Amino acid sequence: MTINEFLKGDAFALFSGVELLEVGNGYAKARMEIKPMHLNGGGVCQGGAIFTLADLAFAAATNSHARLTLSITSCINFFKAESKGFLYAEAKEVFSHKRLANCEVRITNESDELIATFIGTGYRKETELPFSAIE
């Protein structure tokens, strides 16, 4: 099994149309095409959809070490609204420890304009995951 196959178990992200594009050691990139189901009453991409995109990138980056890492806190800031096209989430661990991981995620549009930022802290459990750690 690979980390990509493991994260296909995230049924909500999969249902939301989030695709994992790339995973490295403490790094991940994902994308989501904005569809009518993602729009809020104002006609722009709903914040929860953007959060889901960022959260999957966070999960891939922090679980790349093959130890189950679950979010214990996260914060998102929205800067620009989008209503069509693809959004990209690029996650980079900025702190990685035996028990805690901190990750920054930049969410951009197809023109590489900043849409939102997400910061998450994860707790690493003792549980080993069914794939090799990405070095």
Q: At a CB cut-off of 8 Å and minimum separation 6, what does 80 contact?
A: 109, 113, 114, 115, 116
The per-residue pLDDT of the chain, averaged, comes to 97
Asked, for residue 47, whether it belongs to a domain, the answer is yes
Q: At a CB cut-off of 8 Å and minimum separation 6, what does 62 contact?
A: 26, 69, 91, 93, 101, 103, 120, 122, 124
Question: Residue 90, CB half-sphere, CA atoms under 13 Å: how many?
Answer: 8
Distance between CA atoms of residues 63 and 45, nearest Å: 27
| Residue 29 confidence (pLDDT) | 98
Residue 80 has pLDDT above 90, yes or no: yes
Put simply, whether the predicted model's pTM sits higher than 0.75 gets the answer yes
Asked, for residue 134, whether it belongs to a domain, the answer is no
Residue 4 has pLDDT above 90, yes or no: yes
The CATH number of the domain where 117 resides is what? 3.10.129.10
Work out how many domains the chain is built from and give that number: 1
Asked, for residue 25, whether it belongs to a domain, the answer is yes
Give me the mean pLDDT over the 85-93 stretch: 98
Asked, for residue 86, whether it belongs to a domain, the answer is yes
Asked, for residue 74, whether it belongs to a domain, the answer is yes
pLDDT band at 68 (very low <50, low <70, confident <90, very high): very high
Asked, for residue 58, whether it belongs to a domain, the answer is yes
Asked, for residue 66, whether it belongs to a domain, the answer is yes
Asked, for residue 84, whether it belongs to a domain, the answer is yes
Full residue range of the structural domain in which residue 13 is found:
3-128
Whether 34 contacts 81, CB under 8 Å: no
